[in-house]
Structure 1
């Protein structure tokens, strides 16, 4: 299956915390960082997710926020450090490719105004932020 979601990473489940309706699944990406997904208990069961299971982690580029400094107090679980590898400005939106520390590249689609205010350019250190509820898991 080919998907339009730009951010697709292989990983392995390292922990599953089960709630009554929702669960959190922690995944260690092959590229290095750890990502948390908040998905339904039904999805955990249907996918057979447990420690050691190989998965594909997906999130849309429009669900990625970028910060240029430390983000110590925020509810967003996934904070992925990296360096801007490429910036492509459109009239309204900007596409930013981030070289993730540990390997791999992710893409963020943010407003041009935000990109300019952050002073994003090749070589800028950033933290990519993705809410756990925006992370999709598939079997890989």
Structure 2
């Protein structure tokens, strides 16, 4: 599996905020004990249940902004036959529905994948995504 291509697909789904696609394509690839670390102190999730709750709660806010991905890059570093680290950056722009919010931001990330049988699971994400409270 090309984990860089897959990672780009996941980021596109996540940024565009299609909750059905996020549930079908992202959450299904995460084990129950996934760890997700975000930008803010409050963004530390020790399992899939906590991360899902956060994503669903933020969906209203995210739906108020139209995002476009300007650029994406990532690299895969194989740690062993069954574990890979993918790290990279996403540059995105966004505009609020009422035009009061303009977004031009770079996001950095690391993602750890572990192979389980023939499938790859996303076991860890560390992301740096600015949020609306950081507008200034």
TM-score normalised over the length of structure 2: 0.28
Higher relative contact order (CA 8 A, sep 6+): 1
Q: Which has the higher helix share?
A: 2
TM-score normalised over the length of structure 1: 0.27
Q: Which has the higher strand share?
A: 1
